[in-house]
A and B are shown apart, each in its own frame.
Chain A
Amino acid sequence: MSVGGRLRGPSSRVPSLPGSLPARHRWLGRLFRNRLAIGCLALLILLHSGVFLGPRLYTASPYKVRPIEAFAVPSPVQFLGTDESGRDVLARLLVGGRISLLVGWSAMLVAVALGLIVGLVSGYSGGRLDIGLMRITDAFLSLPTFFLLLIALAFFGGGIVILTLVIGLTSWMGVARVVRSEVLRWRSHDFVAAAWALGAPPWRIVSRHIAPHTVPSLIVAGSVGVGNAILTEAAMSFLGLGINPPTPSWGNMLQNSQRYMYAAPFLSVYPGLMIFLTVLAYNFFGDGLRDALDPYSVQSE
């Protein structure tokens, strides 16, 4: 709820050194000096190229079943062995990674797009529109998103489209608030007044002068958002509601492997590890970026 005079966490933090704001435009430089963040970025690039290019190099089929070879141990032909139907685990990890990352990114893009629009409109217009939009945002924040996801997926069946839509529609609120606070911060600057005086229409002021300043925060939100979306997809697939088999995703591979925990426990380690490392990398990178933007805030090292 937006009630004036109340502190609300990091989006409106009290500057710790009064009178000195860090030089924002140097965030890129600061980011590159943060070794952990760069390391995670490298890992992410590796991961993404791996799942998209990998299947060209490692040509085993993720769908071809060989019942005789079920639960095979790793071999030169099947790097990580096979699953319960004899399918190559590594091939499924790669293709499944594509799906999981696809869902993660699409859902995040939906959330960011929606949040951006709401935040920009709300922050720039002020007044009734602002209050109204913020009320809606707060209403969405108190929705039990897990339930809605559950119900929507259970009733409409799983699949990439529904997952993307529902995850996106339930996670835009944080972005909206961050964007709005950025807009509020920048809107009172002189260059905005100048543009307005020159007769620029509001949408141009917003899109050319204000919006670019929100990009760093968007990247932070996006980074963490992808991680969360991947976790949500995995959780839903685990309950049997996410990506429909036999299309692999890290989440439903984990769900499948659960039945064979005693026969082949390693089947649950691989997808779980992939999810963990990916989300971890996104989170660390997002953190590093956040620190680069505001190094004096004590979020960081």
Chain B
Amino acid sequence: MMTRRQVMQATAAGAGVLLGDRILMGAGSVAAQPKGGNLSIAIYSDPVMNPVIAQGKESNWTNAFLFNMLVKPSEENPARMVPDLARSWDISSDGTVWTFHLRTNVKWHDGKPFTAEDVKFTFDRILDSTTNTRLRSDLRPIQSIDVVNAGTVRFRLGKPYAPLLTFLGYTAGIVPKHLLDGKDINTAAEFNTKKPIGTGAFRLRSYRSASEVVVEANPDYHLGRPHLDTVTLKIVPDVNAQIALLNTGGLDLAMIEPFALGGVKGNPNLDIVTFDQMTWWHISPNTTVPLFADKRVRQALTHALDREAISKNVSGGSWPVMATPIPPFLKPWHNPAVQPYAYNPEKAASLLREVGWTKGSDGMLQKDGQPLKFKLLWGRIAGRQEIAVLVQQYWRDLGVDVEMEGLEWSATIARFVKRDYQIFLDRWVAPYEPDMTNYFSSSAATTGKNSAVYRNPEIDRMLEAGRSATDLEERKKIYFKFQEAIHDEQPQIFLFWQPDTQVRSKAFSGIPRMATGLGDPFYYANEYRRLQ
């Protein structure tokens, strides 16, 4: 007599091994969860598969599967770094020398061993001014990288640099020296677009331009072969197409903005999950423009906005209004005593009156015969128009004549880089790190993300101190003071935080509860499983 299992296996032929497996499991066997399967993720455009020069989300996500960093954000608290390629590290007593002890059993996808030479090579390239990389500004304090031996690498800094670990774990993947040495990394198309070799849990199987990137499990991954067989990153530029694919099962995971979530609500196979991430919306007045040099004007403009109402309109209220760029979920750095400005148009009007702006007969503000008007620059992507339109209305009610300059994205960024604007609406994505030097320090006024072109020596001192502090309590105190100061100064008109909204298929387990903004959850891709 055949067992049920044998009968099933005999008849299961084309219809499915899966079917058989399910029946096997149902038959009460303590089977291991089935290996294999594919996860499909949506990205918006073609990635550049080299973490040193990569810039957009699509590249960060793809590279998270293919490459490792020295450290990565932990699943429980993304502000805390855990080992990735570095298994441990020591800091010298004066805080200027960091020694990283690397894992020794790691191999590149082409079989060659990973060593400290690769780490040195990667960071040398990042610090090289001819490399077109986003990473340099955060890692500039590194003076030199030395190879102590094959498994140990030493970073030397000029002075203590507290955020170093965070920035080392902020999309700073390690690339192989033996393949890129001697080449111009910016144009190494063979590596960047055809044969990227990393140490990651997955290696590239195929890439069809504008179609998809398929990565397959790396059997020699130092943490063991991933459970999934493949991950497909489908290039779907249109959010509606992404929703359609999510609904039909063509996609398993995508980052969808709140207004479009209606398309997937009610689908029993999909989960909608929200995670905090360091993405904040701001309107940056160019403080070198005389109008915006006085902080009372900036404060008035903030008071004039009903940010709750704007958030409600563009996100259904899921985007919390922000007080400073250090959010409540960034513990222990958040200063709870600093509260967002209230919506108070009268206060706004009186602040402007102090500076000399009074309402003329046409209801618009003017001073010495000149009207209060300026051009608001924003790029025509991802939700900026909706916010700009509302902001314009609130400021118009205040008596300010706001002219809209909604340009196409390339043109917008070209203007931004030259700081050729009066006031600029945009959104920053940052790692979980209180160091805001790149956003508010004079050193970043013209290069870097200091969109307000803000120069304040006291803030500079605070930021510098915060970076170099070695004691946690001391750092905390400094950042608490920083939040008070920046709140008062309002170099940027802070709008709100945008959490990450992910749509996930319920058929998977092991995907960490982390925001996708920088690709963090994908550094744990070796743990994902597909449930059938």
* A228-269 to B contact mask, C-beta < 8 Å, 1/0: 000000000000110011100000000010111111000000
Query: Is B43 engaged at the interface, CB distance under 8 Å to the other chain?
Result: no
In the complex, what residues of A have CB within 8 A of residue B128's CB?
none
In the complex, what residues of A have CB within 8 A of residue B240's CB?
258, 261-262
In the complex, what residues of A have CB within 8 A of residue B239's CB?
259
Query: Is A132 engaged at the interface, CB distance under 8 Å to the other chain?
Result: no
Q: Kindly identify which residue among B243, B263, B312, B385 contacts A67, using a CB–CB cutoff of 8 Å.
A: B312
Query: Is A125 engaged at the interface, CB distance under 8 Å to the other chain?
Result: no
Query: Is A154 engaged at the interface, CB distance under 8 Å to the other chain?
Result: yes
Check B262 against A67 for contact (C-beta < 8 Å).
Answer: no
In the complex, what residues of B have CB within 8 A of residue A245's CB?
380, 385, 389, 404, 406
- A-B contact number at CB 8 A: 64
Q: Kindly identify which residue among B260, B312, B389 contacts A259, using a CB–CB cutoff of 8 Å.
A: B260
In the complex, what residues of A have CB within 8 A of residue B393's CB?
64-65
Which residue of the partner chain B has the closest CB to A255?
B380
Q: Known contacts A67-B310, A68-B309, A240-B380; is A157 also within 8 Å of B259 by CB?
A: no
Query: Is A11 engaged at the interface, CB distance under 8 Å to the other chain?
Result: no
In the complex, what residues of B have CB within 8 A of residue A67's CB?
309-310, 312-313, 390
A244 to B385, CA, bound (A): 11
In the complex, what residues of B have CB within 8 A of residue A64's CB?
393
Interface residues of B in 365-421 (CB under 8 A from A): 380, 385-386, 388-390, 392-393, 404, 406-408, 410-411
Q: Is the interface of B mostly helix, strand, loop or mixed?
A: helix
Check A65 against B243 for contact (C-beta < 8 Å).
Answer: no
* A70-103 to B contact mask, C-beta < 8 Å, 1/0: 1000000000000011110000000000000000
A260 to B243, CA, bound (A): 12
A158 to B406, CA, bound (A): 10
Check B408 against A85 for contact (C-beta < 8 Å).
Answer: no
Q: Is the interface of A mostly helix, strand, loop or mixed?
A: loop
A244 to B239, CA, bound (A): 21
In the complex, what residues of A have CB within 8 A of residue B310's CB?
67
- A152 → chain B, closest Cβ, in Å? 12
In the complex, what residues of A have CB within 8 A of residue B404's CB?
244-246
In the complex, what residues of B have CB within 8 A of residue A256's CB?
385
Which residue of the partner chain A has the closest CB to B384?
A245
Enumerate the 9 nearest inter-chain pairs by beta-carbon distance, A residue then B residue, closest first.
A262-B263, A67-B313, A262-B262, A65-B393, A263-B262, A85-B389, A67-B309, A261-B240, A65-B389
Other CB < 8 Å A-B pairs besides A84-B259, A262-B243, 15 of them?
A: A67-B309, A67-B312, A68-B309, A85-B389, A87-B389, A154-B408, A154-B410, A240-B408, A245-B380, A245-B385, A245-B389, A246-B406, A256-B385, A258-B240, A259-B259
- B residues near A, CB below 8 A? 239-240, 243, 259-260, 262-263, 309-310, 312-313, 380, 385-386, 388-390, 392-393, 404, 406-408, 410-411
Q: Can you report 5 A-B residue pairs in the complex whose CB atoms are below 8 A from each other?
A: A68-B312, A84-B313, A86-B313, A154-B410, A263-B262
